[in-house]
């Protein structure tokens, strides 16, 4: 292994700083009082509190699932603080009023919070610990009738929309972590794109966990009305801490007839150090419901988190709907990832396409777990799945668990998977053309992931490529 690579491998997590600001934090522990306190702090209407309480009661009866291929010590749900907000968080008249310290944080992260600095033309909703601290480009979006605001604001301002769609894709009783999220979610983003509107810019949320010993439970709800189009990006970081922090988010996408929703994630939560100490447990439920002729596309680049456990899924309910899943998941050191997708074909002539690229290095373990289910009525359903794994070193693992369940004989389902390593002959060829070993590896890896990166919006694709480089560099010699 070259010294240059070694240097790069040992490169610190560059987003590992923490911001010293006063926070309004609930003491650790979870009971009905905490759920009520969170709801009260957010001035929520009665129906919202009822929904949370229903979820909480359901959660109490549920047990933590352990079927995934990841190992972690038992989580003490009573040791987590379920609400942490920057002290100064109160409704802001304009972004200029934002706490300078928070703004500094986002500047360090490279989030263009200030509109004037915004060349990228991306509207950003930034979530700091549990609350949303500001949404840019709100006015511009309003002109097109697009609603893009924090979840708390949506509950206050657009209750009829929230009530109609909240839980319609991921019910509060869906699974253990979704129920927990439904009970204690503090904020998140809400998007509504009206009929026939093509959202004029990429929407984006940046999540950051700052306070120690807190969990982040955000909830995102995106509704694209008939014929609408929206592309949404999500990024995540957290400071370095030696304890594990829980992140249990829920994302619901609704694509009504002929609508398109594109959801891209670059997940770079703190992954823990090289000995596997600390890091984020990323236990997320993401699901979309596609109505007739609509399209839902998930793209994810997972480089962070000590443990990633998520399956962005699409319920292809309407006829002629399409679901897509493009994923790159990288694990290094002691990271573990169990990720994949579910495509549930219910409507006729539904299509789904899955491309998953897993890269394992160090002592990381990467699992692809995917389900393609064709229901008896899904005539003419079509699925193509490709999942490739690359192993770097012999202390890591790559696993594939595809479930193919077909109940209609007009369906065509194909699944292909391969596992390989970077060939010495490939490296030799590149070197012989004048590239260094590192350049060769980075070129081969980015070629391996190309099909997924090309689905990402431009600025994210660049970030993703860099992240991949940082996560992997030095693991190949």
> What is the binding site for another protein (CB under 8 A)?
67, 376, 389, 391-421
Q: Which is nearer to another protein, 214 or 475 (CB)?
A: 475
- Output b/e per residue, 73-93; b: 16+ Cβ within 10 A: eeeebeebbbbbbbebbeeee
Nearer to another protein, 31 or 405 (CB): 405
Whichever of 316 and 406 has its CB closer to another protein, that residue is 406
Alpha carbon distance 337, 358 (integer Å): 9
Distance in Å, CB of 400 to another protein, minimum = 4
Minimum CB–partner distance for residue 413 and another protein (Å): 4
Q: Quick count: other Cβ atoms within 10 Å of Cβ 253?
A: 32
Look at the alpha carbons of 148, 131, 462, 259 in this order and tell me if their dihedral is positive or negative.
Answer: negative
- CB-wise, 408 or 426, nearer to another protein? 408
Long-range CB pairs of 134-139 (<8 Å, 24+ gap) are 134/92, 134/95, 134/98, 136/95, 136/112, 137/201
Shortest spacing between CB 376 and another protein, in angstroms:
8
In the bound state with another protein, the residue whose beta carbon lies nearer, of 32 and 414, is: 414
Comparison of 158 and 401: residue with beta carbon closer to another protein: 401
- Residue nearer to another protein on the CB measure, 157 or 416: 416
Report the nearest approach of another protein to the CB of residue 8 (Å).
20
Minimum Å distance from CB 405 to another protein? 5
For the CB of residue 300, give the shortest distance to another protein in the complex, in Å. Answer: 21
By C-alpha distance, which of 315, 203, 308 is closest to 264? 203
CA gap 56, 425 in Å, rounded? 56
Find the length of the chain: 477
DSSP 47-69: HHHHHHHHHHHHHHH------SS
| Min CB(275)–another protein separation in Å | 20
Pick 259 or 387: Cβ nearer another protein: 387
CA distance 470 to 450: 17
CA distance 195 to 191: 13
Beta carbons of 255 and 192 less than 8 angstroms apart: no
Least separation, in Å, of the C-beta of 374 and another protein?
8
The residues near 433 (Cβ < 8 Å, ≥ 6 apart) are none
The least CB distance from residue 393 to another protein, in Å, is 6
Name the residue nearer to another protein (CB basis): 233 or 441: 441
DSSP H helices in 312-436: 424-432
- Kindly state the tokens that stand for 395: 């202390």
Structure tokens at 465: 């490529």
């Amino acid at each position: 292994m070259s010294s240059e690579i070694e240097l790069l491998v040992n490169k610190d997590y560059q987003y590992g700083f923490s911001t010293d600001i006063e926070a309004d934090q609930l003491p650790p522990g979870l009971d009905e009082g905490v759920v009520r306190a969170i709801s009260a702090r957010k001035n929520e209407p009665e129906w919202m509190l009822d929904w949370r309480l229903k979820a909480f009661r359901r959660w109490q009866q549920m047990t933590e699932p352990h079927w995934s291929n990841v190992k972690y010590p038992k989580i003490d749900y009573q040791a987590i603080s379920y609400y942490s907000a920057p002290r100064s968080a109160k409704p802001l008249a304009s972004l200029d009023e934002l706490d300078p310290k928070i703004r500094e944080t986002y500047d360090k992260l490279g989030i263009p919070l200030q509109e004037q600095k915004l060349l990228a033309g991306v509207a950003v909703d930034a979530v700091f610990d549990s609350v949303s601290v500001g949404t840019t480009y709100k006015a511009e979006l309003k002109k097109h009738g697009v609603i893009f605001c924090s979840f708390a604001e949506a509950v206050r301002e657009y209750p009829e929309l929230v009530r109609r769609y909240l839980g319609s894709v991921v019910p509060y009783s869906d699974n253990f972590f979704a129920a927990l999220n439904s009970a204690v979610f503090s904020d998140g983003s809400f998007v509504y794109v009206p009929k026939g509107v093509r959202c004029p810019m990429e929407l984006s949320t940046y999540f950051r966990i700052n306070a120690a010993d807190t969990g982040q439970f955000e909830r995102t709800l995106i509704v694209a009305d008939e014929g609408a189009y929206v592309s949404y990006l999500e990024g995540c970081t957290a400071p370095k801490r030696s304890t594990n922090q829980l992140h249990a988010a829920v994302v619901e996408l609704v694509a009504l007839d002929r609508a398109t929703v594109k959801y891209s994630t670059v997940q770079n939560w703190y992954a823990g150090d090289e000995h596997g100490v600390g890091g984020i447990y990323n236990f997320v439920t993401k699901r979309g419901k596609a109505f007739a002729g609509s399209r839902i596309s998930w793209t994810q680049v997972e480089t962070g988190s000590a443990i990633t456990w998520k399956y962005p899924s699409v319920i292809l309910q309407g006829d002629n709907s399409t679901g897509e899943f493009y994923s790159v998941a990288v694990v290094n050191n002691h990271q573990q990832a169990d990720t994949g997708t579910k495509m549930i074909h219910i409507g006729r002539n539904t299509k789904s396409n899955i491309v998953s690229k897993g890269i394992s290095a160090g002592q990381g373990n990467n699992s692809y777990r995917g389900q393609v289910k064709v229901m008896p009525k899904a005539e003419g359903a079509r699925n193509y799945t490709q999942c490739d794994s690359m192993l770097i070193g012999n202390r890591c693992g790559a696993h594939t668990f595809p479930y193919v369940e077909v109940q209609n004989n007009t369906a065509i389902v194909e699944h292909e998977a391969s596992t390989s390593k970077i060939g010495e002959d490939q490296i030799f060829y590149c070197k012989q053309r004048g590239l260094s070993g590192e350049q060769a590896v980075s070129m081969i890896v980015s070629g391996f992931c190309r099909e997924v990166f090309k689905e990402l919006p431009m600025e994210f694709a660049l970030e993703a490529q860099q992240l991949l480089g940082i996560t992997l560099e030095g693991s190949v010699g």
